[in-house]
């Protein structure tokens, strides 16, 4: 049992009644850090450890093209599930990029220095623009979170969408900026509203989610 604003004595009574142990936040649920504050780098250490273990598996036995394929098909997708839900801290993205660089240029040989044949920003460009097609994690993270924003403004039949609309925006107010109150997750999501407005198309209806 993980408490939120519950007195320790009350928590002890509830834990005894349900026959369970007690814990504290943050904790990991379905592979994601759960808590009332913004996740720190140490909270996302399991994610970085999984990527590191994948790197040590067989990257030293692959060619450059094999390592590139390994990055795109085996290493980068590990982050997708997490990036669909939370905004990764800059330090986490930098650490994952360090692992991906090492995989591409040096395999798993930590002692090998240098050997970078191209700048990392160029590597992350699409192949049609002269890059190697390695996904830019910062842009990918924003793109995946924009899908959550689209679900919200489209009022999809999803429990969290219905809950937020009914509890916080039932008075007809529509969130359209970064000054909204709420959790760290909600504030990070609404910071992407400017990008969402630039790619979304509005259809005027009853005015429930589109201001005329």
> How much of the chain, in percent, has pLDDT values that exceed 70?
90
- Please tell me which residue, 177 or 114, carries the higher pLDDT value: 177
Residue 14 pLDDT:
92
Exposure class string for 168-199: b at 16+ Cβ within 10 A, else e: eeeeeeebeeeebeeeeeeebbbbbbeebeee
172: left (phi over 0), alpha (psi -120 to 50) or beta: left
Burial class (CB within 10 angstroms; exposed 0-12, middle 13-18, buried 19+) of 209: middle
Q: Which residues contact 168 (CB under 8 A, 6 or more apart)?
A: 182
The torsion angles phi and psi of 41, rounded to 5 degrees, stand at -60, -40
Predicted confidence (pLDDT) per residue in 25-51, tens digit: 778 888 788 877 788 888 888 888 888
Q: Are 32 and 21 in contact (CB under 8 A)?
A: no
What average pLDDT does this structure show over 136-149?
Answer: 92
Q: In the predicted model, what is the mean pLDDT of the chain? A: 83
Distances (CA, A) of 38 to 35, 188, 194: 8, 10, 22
β-sheet bridge partners, residue 32 = 29
Q: In this model, does residue 111 exceed pLDDT 60?
A: no
Gap between the Cα atoms of 68 and 44, Å rounded: 24
pTM across the whole model: 0.78
Cis peptide before 26 (omega within 30 of 0): yes
Within a 13 Å sphere around the CA of 143, how many CA atoms are in the beta-carbon half? 7
The alpha carbon dihedral of 37, 94, 52, 133 has a sign of positive
């Amino acid at each position: 049992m993980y408490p939120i604003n519950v007195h320790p004595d009350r928590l002890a009574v509830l834990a005894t009644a349900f026959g369970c142990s007690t814990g504290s936040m943050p904790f990991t649920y379905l592979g994601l850090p759960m808590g009332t504050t913004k996740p720190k780098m140490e909270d996302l250490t399991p994610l970085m450890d999984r990527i590191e273990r994948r790197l040590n598996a067989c990257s030293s036995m692959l060619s450059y093209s094999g390592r590139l394929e390994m990055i795109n098909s085996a290493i980068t997708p590990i982050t997708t599930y997490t990036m669909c839900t939370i905004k990764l801290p800059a330090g986490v993205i930098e650490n994952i990029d360090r692992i991906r660089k090492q995989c591409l240029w040096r395999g798993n040989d930590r002692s090998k220095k240098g050997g970078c044949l191209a700048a990392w920003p160029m590597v992350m460009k699409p192949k049609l623009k002269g890059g190697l097609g390695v996904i830019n994690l910062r842009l990918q993270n924003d793109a995946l979170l924009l899908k959550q924003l689209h679900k919200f403004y489209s009022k999809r039949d999803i429990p969290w969408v219905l809950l937020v609309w009914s509890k916080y925006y039932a008075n007809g107010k529509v969130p359209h900026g970064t000054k909204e109150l709420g959790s760290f997750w909600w504030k990070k999501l609404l910071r992407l509203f400017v990008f969402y407005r630039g790619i979304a198309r509005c259809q005027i209806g009853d005015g429930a989610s589109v201001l005329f």
